[in-house]
Amino acid sequence: MPRDVPIAPVARRVERLNARYRHHSAAAVIDRALGDAEIGRIALVSAFGAESAVLLHMISVRDRRIPVLFIDTEMLFPETLAYQQDLAHHFGLEDLRIIRASQTALAAHDPDGDLHHRNSDACCALRKTQPLTHALAPFDAWITGRKRFQNGSRAGLEFFEAEDDIRIKINPLAFWKPQDMQDYMINNRLPRHPLVAKGYPSIGCAPCTAPVAAGQDPRSGRWQGQDKEECGIHFVDGRMIRGPLRQVS
């Protein structure tokens, strides 16, 4: 959405947006965000993972032309790649953008494809964070599927966040509970990721994702044995989140 007049800094706009939409539903946040001049040009970033169908459906019934960015790290499960194609067709997405690291960058920094064994943060930066940063350059805001119930660094999520002073992150599902997700999937008859039935409630790259036992934190299968809970796409104060958010007085 082009603008003809100067707008407030990102942090100030985020404060106003959270105050304005504090008591709205997820659907209402999306509806208002798509037309709010304080937000601007929006893309949805989707991993096409275990719960991605919910937001993809919400967007598709409003405007199938909204850009959807999918990061193909080239280390994803085959099931995820097949699911991505199935959902894109099912929802009729008209602007799906497949984002990958450049072959030059991969040849320079991960020629043998084993960087994840040596430095998972560097691997995520190379295959996820850097390509997404380039892909998001034309946008003022992006929609994520993060939720408070995922705990850790996500426990204090609001609907809107400031990504440094660059753009706004929108978390329409921030206040949803696990049962809300299940109900929406069932009520709208949404296709499920095939790995969910095999014990994968949170799905990332194949080498860094393991099944989770019933009752465990759904994200505990990501980067098992490492002091790491985010891939680096989501930052606070310009830094990758590795543990719980610090409390702000």
Three-class SS of the chain: CCCCCCCCCHHHHHHHHHHHHCCCCHHHHHHHHCCCCCCCCEEEECCCCCCHHHHHHHHHCCCCCCCEEEECCCCECHHHHHHHHHHHHHHCCCCEEEECCCHHHHHHHCCCCCHHHHCHHHHHHHHHHHHHHHHHCCCCEEECCCCHHHCHHHCCCCCEEEECCCEEEECCCCCCCHHHHHHHHHHCCCCCCCCHHHCCCCCCEHHHECCCCCCCCHHHHECCCCCCCCCCCCEECCEECCCCCCCCC
At residue 8, does pLDDT exceed 60?
yes
Least confident of 2-11, 69-78, 129-138: 2-11
Residue 202: per-residue pLDDT: 87
Q: What is the pLDDT of residue 243?
A: 36
For residue 101, what pLDDT band results from cuts at 50, 70 and 90? Answer: very high
Q: How confident is the model at residue 174 (pLDDT cuts 50, 70, 90)?
A: very high
The full set of domain ranges for the chain reads 10-240
In terms of CATH architecture, what is 10-240?
3-Layer(aba) Sandwich (3.40)
pLDDT band at 227 (very low <50, low <70, confident <90, very high): low
The catalytic residue positions are 231
pLDDT of 6 > 70? The answer is no
Q: What is the mean pLDDT of the chain?
A: 86
Percent of the chain with pLDDT over 70: 85
Its pTM stands at 0.84
Residue 241: the pLDDT is 43
Among 13-27, 85-99, 216-230, the minimum mean pLDDT is found in 216-230
